[in-house]
Amino acid sequence: MSLGALITKSRTSARLSIEDLSKLTNIPATLLRDMEADNFKKCGGETYARGHLRNIAAKLEVDERVFLDLFESEVTAPVKPIRDLLSENNAAMPYQERKQVSWKVLAGGSIAALVLFGGTQIIFSNLNSGSVPVAVASPSTSASESASESVAPVETATPKPSATEVSSTVTAVEGELIVKVSATRGTTWLYVSNQDGTSIFSGQIRKGNSKEFSASEELNLRVGNAGGVDITLNGENVGPIGANGEVVNLTYNVK
């Protein structure tokens, strides 16, 4: 059974319609239909898709690992070794394994070196009657100390936190409903739908750009980078909606 079919089966077992599940999870009904059809392309990436699956599993009282394991096996692309990726993109020469040298070759080379060394010693001993002292250079203490001092400590990279999903916010207004999203401080992923769950916008808003949306009854927003955007409702700034990297669900409706 595919992941989408399992979501459908779990939902019907809970006696919930897609619209019921949409209200419980704040996930648009159109996106839920796509997920039940094994289409996760509109989720905004693998991180957001996993967040949706955890949300759905919690509302349907299903172990989230069941959904996530199927997602990893069916949807997530397998990670190739860096050696294969470099070879595919011609970024480096194909990897070649080193051939082990036969012990016979090593033994033969050692014997030849000993014979050559012994013959050279005999010739020089016959030519020179006296021995010539050989000066042996002692290792420089200062050189070793400077070499050790030049080794800089390696800093361990601190992993960046992944996107964090926070609770949803519902705001009711009177009269018209016009929402403007401005990517003032950073690029963000955005999904917008109306009261029927119909998708109005799904994609990225680059830093410095903005999008304006209007509806007669309701607007549902899912913001992927809450700290990077400013939102105005009917021309008035609503204030901070979250921190950088936080995923925020916002609902604006008419009273």
Instruction: Output the pLDDT for position 124.
Output: 60
pLDDT above 80 for 152:
no
Q: Dump the DSSP string for 39-101.
A: --GGGSSHHHHHHHHHHHHHHHT--HHHHHHHHHHHTSPPPPPHHHHHHHTTSSPPP-PPPPP
Measured from the Cβ of residue 62, the count of other Cβ atoms closer than 10 Å reads 19
Most confident of 7-16, 111-120, 147-156: 7-16
Give the type of residue at 17.
S
Q: Note whether 223 and 242 are within 8 A (CB).
A: yes
Copy the structure tokens of residue 6. Answer: 């399992």
- 224 falls within a domain: yes
Contacts of 46 (CB under 8 A, 6+ apart): 75, 76
Question: What is the rounded distance in angstroms from the CA atom of residue 47 to the CA atom of residue 163?
Answer: 7
Instruction: Output the pLDDT for position 118.
Output: 73
pLDDT above 50 for 249:
yes
Instruction: Output the pLDDT for position 77.
Output: 56
Looking at 139-153, 172-186, 239-253, which range is the least confident one? Answer: 139-153
- 39 falls within a domain: yes
Q: 11-70: per-residue pLDDT in tens?
A: 999 999 999 999 999 999 999 999 999 999 999 899 999 999 999 999 999 999 999 999
Question: What is the rounded distance in angstroms from the CA atom of residue 206 to the CA atom of residue 50?
Answer: 24
Burial class (CB in 10 A: 0-12, 13-18, 19+), 119: exposed
Q: 74-118: per-residue pLDDT in tens?
A: 887 554 555 554 554 443 344 455 556 666 777 777 787 777 777
- 106 falls within a domain: no
Instruction: Output the pLDDT for position 254.
Output: 87
Mean pLDDT along residues 196-209: 94
Instruction: Output the pLDDT for position 175.
Output: 78
Instruction: Output the pLDDT for position 114.
Output: 78
Mean pLDDT along residues 221-226: 92
More confident residue, 217 or 160: 217
More confident residue, 147 or 50: 50
- 136 falls within a domain: no
Of the residues 51, 74, 97, the one at which a domain ends:
74
Instruction: Output the pLDDT for position 93.
Output: 44
Number of domains in the chain: 2
Question: What is the rounded distance in angstroms from the CA atom of residue 47 to the CA atom of residue 225?
Answer: 13
Of the residues 52, 74, 96, the one at which a domain ends:
74
Measured from the Cβ of residue 182, the count of other Cβ atoms closer than 10 Å reads 19
Mean pLDDT along residues 142-156: 47
DSSP 8-state class, residue 253: E
Q: How confident is the model at residue 143 (pLDDT cuts 50, 70, 90)?
A: very low
- 98 falls within a domain: no
Instruction: Output the pLDDT for position 156.
Output: 47
Instruction: Output the pLDDT for position 51.
Output: 94
Pairing of strands 169-173, 246-254: parallel
Of the residues 74, 97, 131, the one at which a domain ends:
74
Instruction: Output the pLDDT for position 136.
Output: 47
pTM: 0.39
Provide the domain limits for residue 25: 3-74
Instruction: Output the pLDDT for position 167.
Output: 58
- 142 falls within a domain: no
CATH classification of the domain holding 23 = 1.10.260.40
CATH classification of the domain holding 170 = 2.60.40
Residue (of 195, 244, 197, 247) closest to 222 by Cα position: 247
> What is the percent of the chain with per-residue pLDDT over 90, rounded to a whole number?
50
